[in-house]
A and B are shown apart, each in its own frame.
Chain A
Amino acid sequence: MVDLNRSQKQIQKAANDFAKGEFDKDQALAMENANEFPDAIWKKAADLGFIGVHFPEAYSGGGMGILDACLISEAFCRKDSSIGTALALSASGAECLVRFGDAATQAAFLPPIAEGRLRCGYGFFESGCRSDLSGVQTVAVKNENQWIINGSKSHVLNGGDDSVYLILCRTDPDAPPEKGLSLFVVEGDREGIAVREAGRKLGANMVATADLTFTDVIIPAANLLGKEGRGLAQAEAFFEEAGILIAAQCVGTAAGAFDRALAYVKEREQFNRKLAVFEITRQKIAEMAMKVEQARLMTYEAARRCDAGQGLEKFGTMARITAARAAVEVADEAIQLFGGYGYMKESEVERFYRDAKVADLTLGGTIHLKNKIAAGVIGKLK
């Protein structure tokens, strides 16, 4: 098991305490029903430094690592999968700014994100190519000191005026994808961006998903992240990191569903016995505990490798699949252990299950992610 150092343990405890103090079940149920972002909690969390702990200190971040960010996400999602997911995803894609942005870009965008004034989303996928980025059709054309963007992106989180997006565009139509794509940061209030809300989803309903259309959207040349033509490599590197962060949400979601199920089977009686007495319940509890621990191990180890600057070799993606599977399966079993009550919103575990399933579909989904792992593991065939 990855050993947490003192500061990490402190962060973990602080995050747990914050969630315990600030997240309210009834409020969460209402916000989830209304597809509402937990604005006030987000701002408070940002004030206390829980958003962007992995951003540089110079830009209002915590100067810490991905593992620290994971511990926070896990704690939050464990207390409430929907609020936790919304808070974690409020800065979705910001890792690109940290990794590839120059000082000016970071100074412009990271502080408002970390301070709870600006939300972030990445727009890589398109309906035409789905998760296969080599087929990206959105174009950015250079015009002196500006870029002009045209095209559309699907499943972008936090769509809206007070957001900023990381948008992957084709900048050289003739070059192969490894050289022809570039990554841009685009402010949500730029002219020419149409936001079409996806509306209610299966889960993760406290964070909005939208399809974006760009029509002659003009951004300054400085909004290009890193070097032109590096977009695909940047996106792939980001996916590894994003995979770890989603894995951490899933560990929390799994653990949260597990906590609730465990408490319930120790409490609920049928046939004059606690559910926890039935052997099959015990088998399930053991199975669930194992899944949570497996997911946690992989996630922490991925985060540790990432923070140590070691090559991830798709370990982030592996953690993402493992943890999301664990979350779906553990939450599913939690519903079953709750019986009819598990199907009621009041029990919370049904929401954990829906949130877990949506996490399981992110970053292109399991089939796509396995193909990516295989590509990495197998390498080029002679």
Chain B
Amino acid sequence: MDILHYTEAHHDFRKRLRAFMDREVVPHIDQWEADQGVSREVWRKMGRAGFLCPTLPTAYGGLGGDFRFSVIGIEEISRTNHGGLGAPLHSDIVVPYIMSYGNDVQKQTYLPGCAAGDIVTAVAMTEPGAGSDLSSMTTTAEEDRGQLVINGVKTFISNGILCDLAIVAAKDPHETNPHQAISLYLIEDGTPGFQKGRPLDKMGLHSQDTAELFFSNCRIPAENRLGEKGMGFLMLMDKLQQERLVTAVMGISVAEVMLEWTMRHCKKTTTSAGRPLSRSQAVQFALVEMATEVNLGRTFVDKLVVEHVAGNNVIVETSMAKYWCTELGKRVADRCLDLVGDYGGLEQCPLVRGFRDVRVMSIFAGTNEIMKGIAAKFMGL
């Protein structure tokens, strides 16, 4: 019994996307990892082939699809065993802000480029002093002669180097209530006063161009505000259900990929006694335990995807899923390495990259502690 049903269109999308990944992504990953960033070209190719922003209306170049297309996108990228190509972030997290809150002009200006891969997006909330506690951000946006002047620093911004357009959260310094002070702004690359740092040296996600963004007296037109003034915090909160679900899907997908690889490895690798590793009871139990947890997580996430597509409020459950599935991803990476042994310490073992890349998932998109806090709050504790 499938909880999550896919149509022919979904299956076809997956098939084509998988072929695209095999052709256009997999061969380049090692290079991208060394370069600390993917090529701009791959974004364009993905866009041209119709794999970016599948949920955008066709009028903007999207497929007019539902969130299930996003799920497929995340799963297929996960299968490539790399996390640099930040397409899910772009398609399923950042662009939806523009789609939901942008005015017609903003949508006309940016969305076609987003779908085509000409415009790569980023969202900049986090600051050196404001991570979990977003309301304490200090980047300011002040009106000045019909323009807005942005000042401040953002950090850990995914797609930070490549982005053509950043959605930046900033505060009106004259508003004292921190929750009502935040608005979102669209800031184009190249705007004077907007500077990008170098890619940050990270534990993993090496091909992901995570960077700091600097704004010093960066002037943007007043029309570049996204949505109502002072609504930034609420807009961010509103989009988080999907962001968390995206991360949960990443966690479970990565766990599946690693487990599948390890299962195959254990079947074909023999011990010195000539027996496949998978005949060891200890190895079998470890694989079964991991498979069980993956099954549990997958079933739960599938159900949440159905609920999310149906527009249900599943804030408690998505917070739970985000933390549990990302922890699962880490646990599976760790246990798989245990089974593989020494070979698992070599860069050539694909688990190594998975192990590094999955580690951040319990931190970004709201740390897992924040997830538990949210669940507790909405459970009425």
Contacts and interface: CB of A to CB of B under 8 A. Distances in A.
Do A's and B's CB atoms come within 8 Å in the complex?
yes
Interface of A: 278-280, 283
B285 interface: yes
Contacts of A278: 281
8 contacts: A278-B281, A279-B280, A279-B281, A279-B282, A280-B281, A280-B282, A280-B285, A283-B282
Nearest to A280: B281
Contacts of A283: 282
A280 B285 CA distance: 8
Interface of B: 280-282, 285
A211 B151 CA distance: 63
B19 to A, nearest CB: 42
A259 B144 CA distance: 78
Given A278-B281, A279-B281, A279-B282, 5 more contacts: A279-B280, A280-B281, A280-B282, A280-B285, A283-B282
B339 to A, nearest CB: 13
Contacts of A279: 280-282
B285 to A, nearest CB: 5
Nearest to A282: B282
A336 to B, nearest CB: 13
Contacts of B281: 278-280
B45 to A, nearest CB: 48
B381 to A, nearest CB: 15
A282 B281 CA distance: 10
Contacts of A280: 281-282, 285
Nearest 3 interchain pairs by C-beta: A279-B281, A279-B282, A280-B281
A278 B281 CA distance: 8
B31 to A, nearest CB: 42
A279 B277 CA distance: 13
B316 to A, nearest CB: 22
A281 to B, nearest CB: 9
Nearest to B279: A279
A101 B139 CA distance: 61
A270 to B, nearest CB: 13
A279 B281 CA distance: 6
A274 to B, nearest CB: 14
Nearest to B283: A279
A63 to B, nearest CB: 50
Nearest to A281: B281
Contacts of B280: 279
A325 B285 CA distance: 23
Contacts of B282: 279-280, 283
A280 B282 CA distance: 5
Nearest to A278: B281
A145 B133 CA distance: 57
A143 to B, nearest CB: 46
Q: Which of A278, A279, A283 has most B Cβ within 10 Å?
A: A279
A264 B281 CA distance: 20
A361 to B, nearest CB: 22
Contacts of B285: 280
Nearest to A279: B281
A283 B280 CA distance: 12
A278 B284 CA distance: 12
A279 B285 CA distance: 10
A244 B281 CA distance: 38
A283 B282 CA distance: 7
A279 B280 CA distance: 7
A342 to B, nearest CB: 19
A283 B281 CA distance: 10
A278 B280 CA distance: 10
A279 B279 CA distance: 11
B280 to A, nearest CB: 6
A278 B285 CA distance: 12
A139 B282 CA distance: 58
A283 to B, nearest CB: 5
A278 B282 CA distance: 9
A13 B282 CA distance: 38
A283 B285 CA distance: 11
A214 B50 CA distance: 78
